[in-house]
Amino acid sequence: MTYEGWPIYSEAQIQLIASAADILSRLFGYLTPHILPGVSTAELDQMAEEFVRREGAEPAFKGYKPPFEEAPYPYTLCVSIDEEVVHGLPSPHRYLQSGQIVTIDCGVRLEGFHADMAYTFSVGTVSPQARKLLQVAKEALYRGLLYARAGAHMGDIGHAIFSYVKSYNFAVSEQLTGHGVGEAIHMPPDVPNVGKPSKGVRLPENLVIAIEPMVQMGSRRILRGADGWSVRTKDGQLAAHFEHTVVVRRHGPQVLTSFEPIMKALAHV
């Protein structure tokens, strides 16, 4: 079988993606202490761009034009608050508030190769229901990652995510997916968060993908926000989003991005 257009790379190329992923992971650790009540989402965006450029890399989202948009994306980060599922726009007029949950999504480009990562944070003290949503969404990512191995089926990843999320009566949108990543920030194939075990294409070795469950507390239905970019839950309930860039290997996943810098930073907050 051929995989035309899919990001299947040499070890040297994967090392470049890993280097981009390292910068990205450290960026998240750098931002973590600043995710506080009273901080504007534009401040976070500015800090992120400055960090990435200091590291000799480029923000991968800034200037990226998806096929369905009329203009390129203007920011380094997507910052999605509460009911925003993805693609929330940073703003100098939008300040974080205690009790919110906020997803930071970012991509980095280094020497022509990309990495992508997302993490949903608590701002101050959040409700027990919000904490559970974050726990389930994060664990769903790890359940999906288990099947990022050569010879597994694409449906295995989606089934692992969906079945785990459903067991807690949460939902995933069938319209939002993970994706290939490497020489572009978004590449084929789509990596759905729903699927059937042992169904779909078999995953080839050295395929690089972003796996990213987007989990909703209520209905799976979504709609586009008035700003033209953000995607929100239709029922206004909370959403959480976690993402890793990963290499499909023969014996299992090689996860290139890391949440460890976030965990270390949170331990000192």
The CATH number fitting domain 11-266, selected from 3.30.470.10, 3.90.230.10, 3.40.50.10420, 3.30.70.1350: 3.90.230.10
User: Tell me: the pLDDT tens digits for 229-257?
Assistant: 999 999 999 999 999 999 999 999 999 99
The reply to whether the predicted model has a pTM over 0.95 is yes
Handedness of CA 39, 60, 138, 254 (dihedral sign): negative
Q: Give the span between the Cα atoms of 189 and 145, in whole angstroms.
A: 16
User: Tell me: the pLDDT tens digits for 124-179?
Assistant: 999 999 999 999 999 999 999 999 999 999 999 999 999 999 999 999 988 999 99
Alpha helices in the chain (DSSP H): 11-31, 41-54, 128-145, 154-166, 260-266
User: Tell me: the pLDDT tens digits for 48-106?
Assistant: 999 999 999 999 999 998 777 778 999 999 999 999 999 999 999 999 999 999 999 99
Question: What torsion do the CA atoms of 48, 237, 138, 266 make, to the nearest 10 degrees?
Answer: 50
Return phi, psi of residue 30, to 5°. Answer: -65, -40
Question: Would you list the domain boundaries of the chain?
Answer: 11-266
For residue 252, give the DSSP letter. E
